[in-house]
Structure 1
Amino acid sequence: MNIVVRVGKADFDVGAECRALASHSPQSGAVVQFVGLMRDSNQGDDVLTMELEHYPGMTERRITEIVELAQQRWPLFATTVIHRVGVLYPQDQIVFVGVSAAHRHDAFQACEFIMDYLKTEAPFWKKERTLTGEQRWVDARQTDQQALKRWQV
């Protein structure tokens, strides 16, 4: 299986990423993608920017491990995970998770699995700046932890 993991400031082209995923095998019958965008509000406040930080090397390693876990559960041809860091603005793309497989069910499940694990297990730190000038760290949500539980055996 082909695994691509990129963490950086550069934006990504969703169409190009999907075409690349489909090209890895003539047996690909499904490409499923998830694109996460920055919202302009959180916890009832208007948000102007979000700054994402990570631990270079460790972050990519952990994302690769998450993708390998998905590969053990579903027969995948290729997986791409792109996560942006730095200062982002509302409606900026933050994350891309794309999976190619022979069948849609496997691709959908693997994509959800990877995203659920990214939200809880990948070492990223997020700081928001609100309209009032407040800066605050974003804590993990309880709903993300609950989503992760459905995958545990």
Structure 2
Amino acid sequence: MKVNPYLNFNGNAEEAFNFYKSVFGGDFTAVMKMSDAPDSDKIPAKEKDRIMHISLPISEDITLMASDILPSMGHSLNNGNNVYLSLHPNSKEEADRLFNGLSQNGHIEMPMADQFWGDYFGSFVDRFGVHWMINYNPEF
């Protein structure tokens, strides 16, 4: 089974995913705008350029996916701490690279440090309001 985190944004999904691509590398496997949807003529002009679906593979097993909400359809976005994306890199160096890259202009909750449970761990909220944990365990 694969778990693909799916994120929602309020009009800045493309900006967020270009940022994530700058950190993780790779290429988008899908980028669809609301204007590509059936009956897009019913979508207000100011929402047609929003992302309907975007995906970015960040490893062999994980693909980040997202879309923008449509306020005209009654959607609302509530950023909260109910979802974290927990990344488990293969080295301490990769943990630091991911933490430093993704936390740029965000809010660091716990800096990367060796923790009492034996892992090298840190957490933050990125500049788009997405909550992340970076967890490196040298024994796995």
Give the TM-score of the pair, scaled to structure 2: 0.32
Which has the higher relative contact order, 1 or 2, with Cα contacts under 8 A spaced 6 or more apart? 1
Structure with the larger strand share: 1
Give the TM-score of the pair, scaled to structure 1: 0.30
